[in-house]
Amino acid sequence: MRKKTVLITGGAGFIGSHMCEKLLAKDYRVICLDNFITGTLINVKPLLEDKNFQLVECNVASYIDIAGKIDYVLHCASLASPNDYLDYPIQTLKVGSLGTHNALGLAKQKKAVFLLFSTSEVYGDPLVHPQVESYWGHVNPIGVRGCYDESKRFAEAITMAYHRMHKLDTKIVRIFNTYGPRMRRNDGRVVPNLICQALNSKPLTIYGKGQQTRSFCYIDDLVDGLIRLMLAKENLPVNLGNPNEFTISQLSRLVLRLTNSKSKIAYKRLPLDDPKQRQPDISKARKCLGWEPVISLEEGLKRTISWFKK
């Protein structure tokens, strides 16, 4: 029997590389596309020895040309951390617009299932809490974060247009804060920032008073939900994230305890348009996918800290 083939854009990145690894373990053939602007070869190097893994270097915002049968197109390519989309705002907009268009075109050509990796940032600085999929969001389209937020909102819109006009089987996942091994030290996101600062005995950077909240999902839990959604019959957006909400101050204290660090806290001005709250309503994921996260923040941080130590 022919193995099902999954193409993953941005497959050498943090989430993408974990998806490649898990799908190979589940006996899929995997084609990984990446231009390495934020992804890295190290993340997928162990997979190169697997005959069912293929790595293709390309910029999906320019073109995607892959021969042969493809069953699933997973559009994971994105500049998802604040450092990246503030440094590369135009590339961020291009991968969310042109890249999504090209990935959808490939899925249409191959008659493949399409899964868009969207984000909780489509909700902006939310006026509804927790965030449910029916909420339209509160986003500043011309703010410094607009390049990322609006690129994902456009990506969702064009994905639904292909679903309605071309009858393409599309899925949309809205990913909430996810962390784990293979995040970059200079990622700019709070978990690697705090861990690396604590391990190097540097002051832990807290923005504002540290009372803004986030909900942290460990990568293994997220990947499980993503594969379930890939195989599900749901076409409208689904939140995937951990519904347990923590302040950044609580997170920093936990990191200090788990690293046995004596680092102090350094408070800095809150970035523009930084969301005050972030918590997913995962009722839909529970009902449609039978999914919910099982790894606690403390356990996930222990695993992540161990990886960063190495």
Active site residues: 148
Angle 303-307-310 from CA coordinates, rounded to 5°? 145
Residue 187 parent element (H or E) = none
Q: 124-139: buried (b, 16+ CB within 10 Å) or exposed (e) per residue? A: bbbeeebbebebebeb
Helical ranges in 167-274 per DSSP H: 190-199, 219-230, 248-259
Strands 29-34 and 5-9: parallel
Beta-bridge partners for 173: 117, 238
Query: Can you give 22-62 as a three-state secondary structure string?
Result: HHHHCCCEEEEEECCCCCCHHHHHHHHHCCCEEEEECCCCC
